[in-house]
Chain A
C-alpha cells in the first residue's frame, strides 16, 4: 500500500475512472484493492501455527504479529523454522493447525491477486527458467496491478525500484548472467515494484557484500517508515539488531523469544539457543548490540568438533 500507484480513498474522482472502465468491460468480481493501513495496525497475524514436513512438525505453536510501520526480524539457528514460518505466512505451506491472517482475513479468504496486492515475497532462491532481461523481471512485480489505474505508474515504479536496489546498470542484461548478489538485488527490486504493504523477505542479505547488506536493510527500514510491514529473515544478529523494531527468535520450530532487539539479543539466551558461547557488547559509539562468538586469540584456537 504504498506509493503513488495505489489510490487512496481520498484519491479523488480522477483515480476511480479506471475502475469504472473495468466494470464496463465486464470483468467479473473485480479484485478488492487494499485500503491504506493505519500505522501500527496488525497486518500479519500468525496464531498457534503448526506446519509439518513428512509427518514431523517443523513449526509448532508459533505466534507472530507484524504491524504496519515496523521491521520485524526472524532469527534463529539453521533449521529453526525461519524460512518455513515465512513460507507459511506467504501461503506456500499448508498449516496443520493454527491460522495465518493478512489484514484480518485468513489467507484462504483472499484471491491470489488480492493477496498479491497486499504482500510481496522475496524467496531465498532466485530461479528463472528463461533468460528475461533484468528490467522485464522487475516489471513482473507489477503483474497484480495489470488492468488497474495503478498500471499507469509501472515504468516509473520499475525504474525507481531498480535504482533503489542498485541494479539499474544491469537493466538490459539477461537475469541469469548476473552474479548471485546482483540477482538477489534484482529479485528484491521486483518485490519492491509490487508495491504491497507487507514485505516478506527471506534472507535478502545472504549473498550480498557489506555495502549492499546495509543498502538492503536501509530499504527495509524506509519501507517501514513509509508505513509498510516488513518481515526479514536474517542470520546476522547484529544487522537484525541495528535495523529491526522487533525480533522473533526461533529454535526447533518454536518461538523462543520475541520483542525489541535489546530484549532478545542477550548473551545467555543466544548462547543457549545457538549452542555456542556468545557475547553481546554495545558498540562503543552507537550503543547498538554487537553479537560475537566468544573466541580465543586468533589462529591458535582449535575449533571444537560438535
Chain B
C-alpha cells in the first residue's frame, strides 16, 4: 500500500458548496472601497474648510483654486482676501497637513496597538510613547539644550518616545515571551514614572519653561511648519506600509498568541515589528504637536463598529478617520473662541473621553463582551 493508492488527500472534495458563506466577500470589498473613498472625500472636505477658516477668511472654493493653480491647473478662483495666498501656503496648509499626518499616525498606531495587545482599550499612550516623548521634550526645554536648533525639542520627544517604548518592551519580556498583562502594567508603571519626572522638571524649570512644558503637554498644532510635515510624513508612510504588510497576521493575533502561532505566525517577531512601528508613528505624531489623546483610542473603535475588525480595512480607515478627527478638532480649537486658541489635546480629551465611555457600553452590549 503506497501513498498513491490511498492518497490521504481525498476526503470529501468540497467542490459543491452552499453559497451562504461567500456572500460576505464581494460585497465586503465593495463596501471597503466605498468606506475608504468616503473617508478620503471627507478628509478633503474638512481640510478645505479648515484651511479657509481663521483670521484671514478664504472660501473653500478659493482654497481649492489656490491649490489647483499651484499644481499648474488654471481652474477656479484665487483667494480674494489680501495676503490670502500667503496665509494659506505659509500658515494654514502646513498646519492642516500636519494635522492630517498626525491624526493618521495616531489612528493607525492606535489600531495596531489594539491588535497587538488583543485589547480594544490599548492605545499608544499605554506602552509609554506619549509619556516618554513628553519627558524627552521637557528635558530638552528645561536643560536648554539647543544642539539641533529648532529641532531640538521635537527630536528629544522622538528619542524619548522610542527609548521608553523599548524600555517597556524589554522590561515586560521574560523567557523570550511577552505576557500582555505584564506589558500593559509595565507601561502603566513607566507612564507614572515619566509623569512624575515631568512634574519634577516643571518644579525645577523657570516660568517660561513651565509654560513651554504645559503647552506641550496639552497638545497644539500652533508650531506647524512645512519642515515638520517633511519629517512626520515619511514616518507615517513607512509606518503605514509596514502595518499594512502585516494586516493579515494582526487578524490572526485576535485568536490569541497560541492559536496565531499554530497558524504559522511568528508572534514574537510580529510583536517587535509592530511595537517599533507604533513607536515610530506615535513619536512622530507627538514630537511636533505634544500629546493629543483619545484619537488613537476612539477612531479605530468607531471604524470597527462600521467596517468590522479586519485589519486590512481597519488600518487605512483608521488612518483616514484619525486625520479627519484631528483636522476638525484643530479647526475647532482655532475658531471656537475668537482670538484665542484652545489646547487641542484638551479638546480631544473632553470630547473623546465621554464618547469613548458611550462606545464602550454600546459595543459591549452588542458584541457580547470582549472576553
Binding site for B on A (CB under 8 A): 1-4, 6, 8, 10, 36-39, 68-69, 87, 90-92, 111-117, 119-121, 123, 125, 127-133, 135-138, 140-141, 143-144, 146, 153, 155-160, 162-163, 168, 171-172, 174, 176-177, 194, 197, 222-223, 225-228
Given A38-B2, A128-B255, A129-B119, A156 and B8 contact (CB-CB distance below 8 Å)? no
Closest Cβ of chain B to A123, distance in Å, is 6
Given A143-B252, A155-B22, A160-B12, A129 and B3 contact (CB-CB distance below 8 Å)? no
Q: List 7 A-B contacts (CB under 8 A).
A: A111-B264, A112-B266, A116-B262, A129-B120, A136-B308, A138-B21, A168-B21
Write out the residue numbers on chain B whose beta carbons fall within 8 Å of the beta carbon of A39.
Answer: 1, 3, 6, 8
Contact with A along B258-279 (1 / 0, CB 8 A): 1101111110000000000000
A-B interface pairs (CB < 8 A), number: 167
Is A156 in contact with B262, judged by CB distance below 8 angstroms? no
Given A156-B17, A176-B371, A132 and B254 contact (CB-CB distance below 8 Å)? yes
Is A112 in contact with B8, judged by CB distance below 8 angstroms? no
The one of A136, A144, A228 that contacts B8, using a Cβ cutoff of 8 Å: A228
Write out the residue numbers on chain A whose beta carbons fall within 8 Å of the beta carbon of B253.
Answer: 129
Kindly specify which of B78-86, B210-218, B362-370 makes contact with the partner chain: B362-370
Closest Cβ of chain B to A141, distance in Å, is 7
Closest Cβ of chain A to B108, distance in Å, is 16
Closest partner residue, chain A, to B11 (CB atom): A226
What's the dominant secondary structure at chain B's contact region?
Answer: loop
A117–B266 Cα distance when bound, in Å, is 14
Given A159-B21, A160-B12, A194-B263, A133 and B308 contact (CB-CB distance below 8 Å)? yes
Write out the residue numbers on chain A whose beta carbons fall within 8 Å of the beta carbon of B308.
Answer: 131-133, 136
| CB of B173 within 8 Å of the partner chain | no
Write out the residue numbers on chain B whose beta carbons fall within 8 Å of the beta carbon of A130.
Answer: 120, 254, 304, 309
Write out the residue numbers on chain B whose beta carbons fall within 8 Å of the beta carbon of A171.
Answer: 20-21, 24
Is B18 in contact with A159, judged by CB distance below 8 angstroms? yes
Is A36 in contact with B9, judged by CB distance below 8 angstroms? yes
Write out the residue numbers on chain B whose beta carbons fall within 8 Å of the beta carbon of A8.
Answer: 3-4, 7, 9
Write out the residue numbers on chain B whose beta carbons fall within 8 Å of the beta carbon of A159.
Answer: 14, 17-18, 20-22
Write out the residue numbers on chain B whose beta carbons fall within 8 Å of the beta carbon of A115.
Answer: 262, 264
Number of interface residues of B (CB under 8 A): 50
Write out the residue numbers on chain A whose beta carbons fall within 8 Å of the beta carbon of B310.
Answer: 132, 136
The 6 A-B residue pairs with the shortest CB-CB distance in the complex, in nearest-first order: A227-B8, A116-B264, A160-B14, A130-B309, A226-B11, A129-B118
A225–B120 Cα distance when bound, in Å, is 42
Closest Cβ of chain A to B363, distance in Å, is 8
Write out the residue numbers on chain A whose beta carbons fall within 8 Å of the beta carbon of B31.
Answer: none
Closest partner residue, chain A, to B5 (CB atom): A39
Of the listed residues B25, B115, B118, B371, the one surrounded by the most CB atoms of chain A closer than 10 A to its CB is: B371
| CB of B306 within 8 Å of the partner chain | no
Closest Cβ of chain A to B70, distance in Å, is 39
| CB of B248 within 8 Å of the partner chain | yes
Given A4-B13, A10-B4, A143-B248, A129 and B370 contact (CB-CB distance below 8 Å)? yes
Is A128 in contact with B371, judged by CB distance below 8 angstroms? yes
| CB of B251 within 8 Å of the partner chain | yes
Given A128-B254, A132-B254, A36 and B3 contact (CB-CB distance below 8 Å)? yes
